[in-house]
Amino acid sequence: MGVHFSFYNFTGLIDLQMGIVERLNDSRREAFTILYCDFSNLDKEQIETSVEQVVRSSDAYVHNDGNYFFLLYQTDIYGAQVVAGMLEEFFATKIKHDIVAFPKNADTSQELFDALQASVKKKLDIDLMCLDHSSRKKPSN
């Protein structure tokens, strides 16, 4: 089961992973990937069960409504596609998804978010406005 983090910690989580990659001198082309899945039309209990069964305990995820973002450490794009396929198999339906990799697609967390937003808009016609910098700020009390 993946480790769940608050959506408002997403940038920090990505920055942490980038720091770990740098510290370990991990020079692979795809040190980690972000797998985006649109679960907006799926049952929340089923989503939780799928994460428990499919996502590794070494991976993390955040979500904003039905938009789920899986941070798959030491996983290339092919591996992330395998995870997406496993989720589709679990739900027995096609799931809209997309993938970006660090450092292949970007050098900073903001560049990763921008790359994912652009790709999802182009491929899936979905606006991931939740990834805009101002939208990731924790709401004030």
pLDDT at 118 over 80: yes
The half-sphere exposure of 62 on its side-chain side, counting CA atoms within 13 A, is 16
Q: Averaged over 71-87, what is the pLDDT?
A: 95
CA distance between the termini of the chain: 31
Is residue 32 within 8 Å of residue 72, measured between CB atoms? yes
Q: Which domains does the chain have, with CATH numbers?
A: 3-133 (3.30.70.270)
Is residue 47 within 8 Å of residue 88, measured between CB atoms? no
- Structure tokens, 42: 């799926």
Question: Does pTM top 0.85 for this prediction?
Answer: yes
* pLDDT tens digits along 2-30: 899 999 899 999 999 998 888 887 666 67
- Give, in order, the Cα–Cα distances in Å from 5 to each of 33, 71, 125: 16, 11, 26
* Band of pLDDT at residue 70, cut at 50, 70 and 90: very high
Q: Averaged over 48-53, what is the pLDDT?
A: 93
